[in-house]
Amino acid sequence: MHRRKAKSINHEGHEVTRRFFEVAFPSRTFVPFVVNAFRLASIIAIMTLSEQIQKDITTAMKARDEQRLSCLRMVKTALKNREIEKMAPLDDKEAQQVLSTLIKQRKDSVEQFTKGGRQEMADKEAAEIKLIETYMPKAAGEEDIVAGVKAVIVEMGAPTMKDMGAVMKNVMARFAAGGMRVDGKQVSEVVKRELTPK
């Protein structure tokens, strides 16, 4: 008897739920969503950085954009090498660290090529930097960096030049927490300027 009663209550509960969705969502197309909610939730997933790059490689191949394709393949190889070192897939933060290293390497190359009078090569490296940067968080501008450094200095009290390392660390952490990309060399210059007695 208890089983029958429980079964009846359970049936009534399902019936109430079914009627609720029929009233709230009269369209029959919503029924599969209710039945397969977990399956659909797994389908609607955010594309990882590595997956986005692979997707863009395919697009570049179809468009026969050799310059873009070459750069993206280089990025993919760098990410794969890092995965091999880690022996596990990279999350987006780790992937962005790899991209940051690639950007830094190319900035150094631009400087060297420019000094050596090889402008064509410098331009190629600069173009790759711009492409890689599209997969990175928004870069902080000069005004953002100055404001961030000043805010940290106020928070720390009255730091001096001997505290530059601590100021740098706090500024970099501040921008990282805000999801903004920042050039460490540029931050260093601003910190020096702000800590230098006026």
The domain spanning residue 108 has which CATH number? 1.10.1510.10
Q: How large is the average pLDDT for residues 14-18?
A: 52
Decide: residue 171, CB within 10 A, 0-12 exposed, 13-18 middle, 19+ buried: buried
The CATH number of the domain holding residue 186 is: 1.10.10
Return the pLDDT at 198: 66
* Least confident among 18-22, 84-88, 168-172: 18-22
Q: Do 115 and 69 sit in the same domain of this protein?
A: yes
Based on the domain organization, do 58 and 126 belong to the same domain?
Answer: yes
Asked whether residue 53 falls in the same domain as residue 128, the answer is yes
Q: What amino acid is encoded at 169 in this protein?
A: K
Q: Is 46 strand, coil or helix?
A: coil
Band (pLDDT 50/70/90 cuts) for residue 18 is low
Query: Looking at residues 120-145, what average pLDDT do you find?
Result: 90
**How many other C-beta atoms can be found within 10 angstroms of the C-beta atom of residue 73?**
14
**Per-residue model confidence (pLDDT) at position 46:** 55
**Looking at the structure, do residues 72 and 39 belong to the same domain, yes or no?**
no
Which two structure tokens, joined as six digits, stand for 85?
């070192």
DSSP code, position 158: S
Domain that holds residue 22: 2-43
What pTM was computed for the model? Answer: 0.58
167 closest CA partner among 154, 176, 183: 154
| Count of domains observed in the chain | 3
**Average pLDDT of the chain?**
80
For residue 7, is pLDDT > 50? no
